[in-house]
Structure 1
Amino acid sequence: MSNKELLFVPAPTVSHVSPAVEAAKLLLTHDRRLSVTFCLFNMPFDPKLAQYNSSLALSSPRDPRLAFVMLPDFRPDPNSTRIELFASVVAAQEGRVREVARGIVARSAGSGSGNPLLAGFVFDMFCSALMGTAAEFGVPAYVFSPPNATFLGFVFHVQKLHDEERVDTTELPDSVGELAVPCLTRPVPRWALPDVVADKVWLPIMLGHTRRIREAKGILVNTFRELESYALDSMGGVGPIVNLEVDDVAYDDDRTNEIFRWLDDQPDSSVVFLCFGTMGTFGEDQVREIAYGLEQSGHRFLWVLRRPPSDHEPKSNRFSDRTVEAGRVVGWAPQKAILAHKAIGGFVSHCGWNSILESLWFAVPIAAWPMYAEQQLNAFQLVVELELATEMKLSYRMKGENDMIVSASEIERGIRRLMEEGMEKRVKWEEMSEMARKTLMVSGSSFSSTGRFVRDFLG
């Protein structure tokens, strides 16, 4: 039987590229006849993505079955809105993705070459506009969903409401305080509606993506059945996939080494870790409240603050001076490696799905502080639906200059609940962590569903 190759097209954001790469690595473990090529492209004004993509492209020689093709940068209209910018960057890559696919076809056609045949495309859910490319090559189009099954089921339901019942989720009357959806056992409150279905600009774009996603031959979801069985069953035929193993990484910069030296000196499960994703920044007033709340809680802490602390702290009686023994404030930290450390006992998180899966894998309980995108829905699912996490501020939403302020007393209470009062949730979290690890074992749910997906196109 001939070898087969999949062409992955992830959305241009680190939070989507990273889980797609991990999913591809997991697929490669199932059959030696499979290889994967990634089409990587950058977003203007996103140096972190460019750096990450470059690191992947440089790593290609490590595994001959996993290749990364860096597509040329696209120069958009400088006056584009953020939404227009994203759409134009994705659309501009269609011809270049087609060229990569032609290269695979040409290599496989070489006489006696033994090169793999193009078996299909795997498009990020937000690159669905490119799905027609697969039909041109006579191969199936699959979709990869970095968000969870609940979000996918939610947008499917919203699209059905809009197209069949003419319900506009951006104009729900005040009397509708919550929305019943098939993928959750409890109705979703208005504050938990994801940005893409609550905003008049985003909604039609998300509806277009969702309609096209329904046309895919299959959907890979970054989750596992034991965590989201209700949501997966509500959609039918959507298979889970998850890969949360952390590679050993050598950190050789002084600041990162200092973090781990400090953690090594702390008691087990004694440190609360605060990290809010690549876009999670706060204004000066909120930073001050977090600082006071941490100090008043009396717990050790490691706080990733996206802006330098000196930009926010008072010039006298500085927070870092008063808490020099109790904690550290850093501009960046390797999140998975931090969560894996025995000193970490709790995680104050923005509830991005990647962060949730990482904290589950390492059995570090979460206090939910969602900020944007679908994070409020994720937080609702964790705290209310699954009763796994504690609450910091579920209804929080980033709005620029008009961000709400979570007070120091609320933060102190949230940290105490996370670190002192959440024994029942901690036990449930550890049980779910064990399930996550078992799901990747032979006969585990993710192992089995991944195998079914591979067999679908390998034959």
Structure 2
Amino acid sequence: MMMIFPYLVNELKFLRHINPLTQFSNVLTKHGCKVTFLHTEFSHKRAKIAAGYAQDNNLKGCSNINFVTLPDGLDPEDDRSDIVKLLVSMERSMPLLLPKLIEDINALDVNNKITCIVVTISMGWALQVAHKLGIKGAFLFPFSATTSASVYCIPRFMHDGIIDSDGIPTKKQEIQLSPNMPMMDTKNLPWVSLGKIFFDNIVQDVMHNMELAEWWLCNSAYDLEPGAFSISPKFLPIGPLIESDNNNNKSSSFWQEDTTCLEWLDQQQPQSVVYVSFGSLAVMESKQLKELALALDLIDKPFLWVVRTSNDDNKGNNTYPNEFHGSKGKIVSWAPQKKVLNHSAIACFISHCGWNSVIESVSSGVPFLCCPFSSDQFWNKSYICEVWKVGIGLDKDENGFISKEEIRKKVEQLLQDETIKERSLKLKQVIRNNLVEAGQSSKNHQMYNAVRNFFHLTKLLSVQ
């Protein structure tokens, strides 16, 4: 039996981690594994209220998945947006409770005891508990294998003087994680834009606990990042995790999806719609949003635009300019993205390059216009534009904004580039091949074989 434990900080960051964990849980059950999915009590309650029980409805259809909860140690009225406070409370209180929970779960079914704990970042203390109990553990990274490998390389970066003890680059330079990987600018190291508190309390915690894990699971495919997977045999590609929440038309989203956009797409011409979405976390500055809005008016194409409200409820961030018409498009607050990207009407994707969106888009053969905001998104853009060559970047002007003229020009350039379209479709086929069990070369690292091997390795190790 697997125990799945996500990184729970708040509902926005939670979503980024819960989707691949939900999909991974469903995949595991297809291979005969029973899964216990562990939430904090507070986050489980908030997620259920926010999504109308979407998460439970998605997973309760599987008899091999069971939900359990533990308190996070804070009072109900405490501020859980204080990341450090929450993490300290969880690490102080939950390790004391987890052994008893595991004992109780094992007692209910002695023939299906927990043999492995799978955690995401900042939950490394759960691996420490598992280690003491003789249970194997694994990290599941919701990022690219390249981003995950950069965390593994932190001691080397410090030793070589590339970063200081706070994770800050010591000088402007480009580096390679391994000889067969692209050059990366150190200013875009994934943790740099998140600050010292994040580096000290999350990144270094992951780095220290990685050695306790038997495997480092990545929602990626060997064909996408072969260099990253060559850095350590512990890296195991289990992606793309894109199929499981399509079953029975269910979704793992924690926000209500506006499915009317699918009906609207049905009325559009094939490969005619510009899809725009910047994920669950990124919120544009008011000026940039206005430039984007005016650009969509300038482009002679219909558009589907996902516009989320600001994280701080500052509605002014979503104020459209008076001259914005929007007559050719449709604006929604949240969309069923995988279905959108697989719709024949979609021509391209203007994206923040978050890894979940990257995986979903390359698996759908949709070309990118890249607009990264922070963290690993810049490295993801490098793969899209320079390695896979299935998209182009949007450049900022001298004031740090992407102008409406730049957006219009790049959209037109992308839609006229048949080479990028062909490469996108070829990459789609390569990635989709990772979902096929039969007929694949033994050289391919497929999701099916990776998950099956992971499951069997766990069973074997549990009896050693």
User: Residues 311 and 217 (structure 1 numbering): CA distance in 2 closer, same or farther, change over 3 Å?
Assistant: closer
Q: CA deviation at 1:310?
A: 9.7
Are the aligned partners of 2:167 and 2:191 in contact in 1 as well (CA < 8 Å)? Answer: no
Q: Answer with 127-136 or 54-63: which moved more.
A: 54-63
User: Residues 311 and 107 (structure 1 numbering): CA distance in 2 closer, same or farther, change over 3 Å?
Assistant: closer
User: Residues 255 and 75 (structure 1 numbering): CA distance in 2 closer, same or farther, change over 3 Å?
Assistant: closer
Structure 1 length normalisation: TM-score?
0.85
Q: How does 1:48-67 map to 2 (within 5 A)?
A: 51-52=50-51, 54-67=53-66
Corresponding residue to 2:185 among 186, 189, 192? 189
The unaligned stretches of length 5 or more in structure 2 are 9-13, 310-314, 441-445
Which AA in structure 1 matches 2:20? Answer: P
Q: CA deviation at 1:346?
A: 0.6
Are the aligned partners of 1:37 and 1:69 in contact in 2 as well (CA < 8 Å)? Answer: yes
User: Residues 48 and 336 (structure 1 numbering): CA distance in 2 closer, same or farther, change over 3 Å?
Assistant: farther
The unaligned stretches of length 5 or more in structure 1 are 110-114, 397-402
Which AA in structure 2 matches 1:200? Answer: K
3-state DSSP of counterpart to 1:143: strand
Q: CA deviation at 1:38?
A: 0.5
| Residue 326 of structure 2 is aligned to residue 323 of structure 1 | yes
| Residue 437 of structure 2 is aligned to residue 442 of structure 1 | yes
Q: Give 1:22's aligned residue.
A: 23
Q: Answer with 379-388 or 345-354: which moved more.
A: 379-388
Q: CA deviation at 1:139?
A: 1.3
3-state DSSP of counterpart to 2:2: strand
Q: Give 1:155's aligned residue.
A: 151
Q: Answer with 59-68 or 263-272: which moved more.
A: 59-68
Which AA in structure 2 matches 1:128? Answer: G
Q: Give 1:400's aligned residue.
A: none
Per-residue CA distance 1:332-354 (angstroms, 9 max, x = gap): 22211211211111111111111
Per-residue CA distance 1:7-46 (angstroms, 9 max, x = gap): 111112111111012112212222x3x2111102377799
3-state DSSP of counterpart to 1:8: strand
In 2, Cα distance between equivalents of 1:50 and 1:182: 45
Q: How does 1:267-346 map to 2 (within 5 A)?
A: 267-307=269-309, 311-314=318-321, 316-317=322-323, 319=324, 322-324=325-327, 326-346=328-348
In 1, Cα distance between equivalents of 2:348 and 2:47: 27
3-state DSSP of counterpart to 2:416: helix
Are the aligned partners of 1:274 and 1:348 in contact in 2 as well (CA < 8 Å)? Answer: yes
Percent of aligned pairs sharing the same letter: 21
Are the aligned partners of 2:173 and 2:185 in contact in 1 as well (CA < 8 Å)? Answer: yes
Which AA in structure 2 matches 1:431? Answer: K
Q: Give 1:228's aligned residue.
A: 225
Q: Give 2:138's aligned residue.
A: 142
Q: Answer with 149-158 or 54-63: which moved more.
A: 54-63
| Residue 242 of structure 2 is aligned to residue 244 of structure 1 | yes
Are the aligned partners of 2:370 and 2:394 in contact in 1 as well (CA < 8 Å)? Answer: yes
Structure 2 length normalisation: TM-score?
0.84
Are the aligned partners of 1:376 and 1:395 in contact in 2 as well (CA < 8 Å)? Answer: no
Corresponding residue to 2:207 among 202, 205, 210? 210
Per-residue CA distance 1:297-336 (angstroms, 9 max, x = gap): 222111111137995124x44x2xx332x11122222211
3-state DSSP of counterpart to 2:389: coil
Per-residue CA distance 1:332-381 (angstroms, 9 max, x = gap): 22211211211111111111111111111111111111112211121122
Q: Give 1:112's aligned residue.
A: none
In 2, Cα distance between equivalents of 1:237 and 1:395: 42
Which AA in structure 1 matches 2:65? Answer: L
RMSD: 3.1
Give the total of aligned pairs.
434
Q: CA deviation at 1:215?
A: 2.2
In 1, Cα distance between equivalents of 2:193 and 2:308: 28
Q: CA deviation at 1:454?
A: 0.9
Are the aligned partners of 1:275 and 1:350 in contact in 2 as well (CA < 8 Å)? Answer: yes
Are the aligned partners of 1:274 and 1:347 in contact in 2 as well (CA < 8 Å)? Answer: yes
Are the aligned partners of 1:360 and 1:433 in contact in 2 as well (CA < 8 Å)? Answer: yes
